[in-house]
């Protein structure tokens, strides 16, 4: 006769009891591994008409213009805080020049990163940070007459600039100093020119 209890009745029941007990043990709780969440940078831009802008003689349109039209919309996509920095630039570095020498013609102020790359600007350019401007003075567009303005800013004006650059004998570059640049990097005076092969070079003169 074949037994249906190969381990004996007591052994079978013991095995069955162990199986039931095992099925009642909850599985271990696995703690989730924290994942690094990368949040894309979002620039909440403000339409030009909604910006608070109290700077006379200079418009945001003028300070964000570019001849590279494909970057124009991008170059006008920024925040009120960044517009305020442009206002600081004008008040600190440009108004004193205008009061002394007359109307200013803006060549370039803010540049978005893509525009800066397209024109082969410095990767650390303060133009990309709303902290620099290139300009001419009306009636002194280039050469010796404009150099007089450059020399006045450098020697007499006491403008607390970060960098002052005489560029290609055609325009003046000026940028904000502290706290936008380290104190040791402020008050720099340079000349930018090109050699016979068209290679540009900066020469620091002060």
- pLDDT tens digits along 48-106: 668 899 999 999 999 999 999 999 999 999 999 999 999 999 999 999 999 999 999 99
Residue reference for tokens 């404009």? 146
User: Residue 190 falls within a domain, yes or no?
Assistant: yes
**What does the pLDDT read at residue 63?**
97
pLDDT for the residue 20: 52
d(CA 180, CA 15): 77
Residue 41 pLDDT class (50, 70, 90 cuts): very low
| Local confidence band at 196 (pLDDT 50, 70, 90 cut-offs) | confident
Between residues 23 and 164, the one the model is more confident about: 164
Q: Is 52 within a domain? A: no
Q: What is the mean pLDDT of residues 126-140?
A: 97
pLDDT at 108 over 70: yes
What mean pLDDT is reported for the chain?
86
Q: What is the pTM of this model?
A: 0.77
Tell whether 92 is covered by a domain.
yes
> Which CATH number goes with the domain that contains 149?
3.30.1380.10
Residue 206 lies in a domain: yes
Query: Is residue 48 situated within a structural domain?
Result: no
pLDDT surpasses 50 at 23: yes
How far is the C-alpha of 115 from the C-alpha of 73, rounded, in Å?
Answer: 11
Please name every residue paired with 191 in a beta bridge, in sequence order, or none if there are none. Answer: 166, 203
Residues of the domain holding 202: 69-206
Residue 112 belongs to some domain of the structure: yes
Cis peptide before 179 (omega within 30 of 0): yes
Is the residue at 7 inside a domain? no
Give the whole-angstrom CA distance, residue 14 versus residue 30: 31
The total domain count for the chain is 1
Query: Among positive and negative, which fits the CA dihedral 188, 109, 101, 53?
Result: negative
Q: Is residue 34 part of a domain?
A: no
């Amino acid at each position: 006769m074949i037994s249906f209890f190969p381990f004996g009745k007591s052994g079978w029941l013991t095995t069955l009891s162990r199986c039931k007990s095992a099925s009642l043990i909850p599985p271990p709780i696995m703690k989730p591994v924290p994942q690094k969440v990368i949040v894309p940078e979002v620039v909440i831009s403000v339409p030009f008409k909604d910006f608070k802008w109290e700077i006379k003689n200079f418009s945001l349109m003028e300070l964000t213009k570019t001849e590279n039209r494909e970057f124009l919309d991008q170059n006008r996509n920024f925040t009120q805080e960044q517009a305020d920095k442009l206002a600081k630039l004008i008040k600190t570095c440009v108004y004193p020049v205008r009061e002394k020498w007359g109307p200013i013609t803006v060549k370039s102020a803010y540049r978005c990163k893509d525009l800066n790359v397209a024109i082969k600007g410095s990767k650390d350019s303060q133009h990309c940070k709303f902290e620099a401007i290139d300009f001419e003075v009306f009636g002194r567009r280039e050469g010796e007459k404009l150099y007089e303005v450059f020399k006045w800013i450098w020697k007499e004006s006491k403008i607390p600039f970060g960098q002052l650059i005489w560029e290609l004998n055609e325009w003046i570059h000026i940028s904000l100093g502290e706290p936008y640049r380290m104190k040791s990097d402020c008050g720099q005076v340079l000349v930018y020119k090109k050699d016979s092969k068209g290679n540009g070079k900066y020469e620091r003169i002060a």
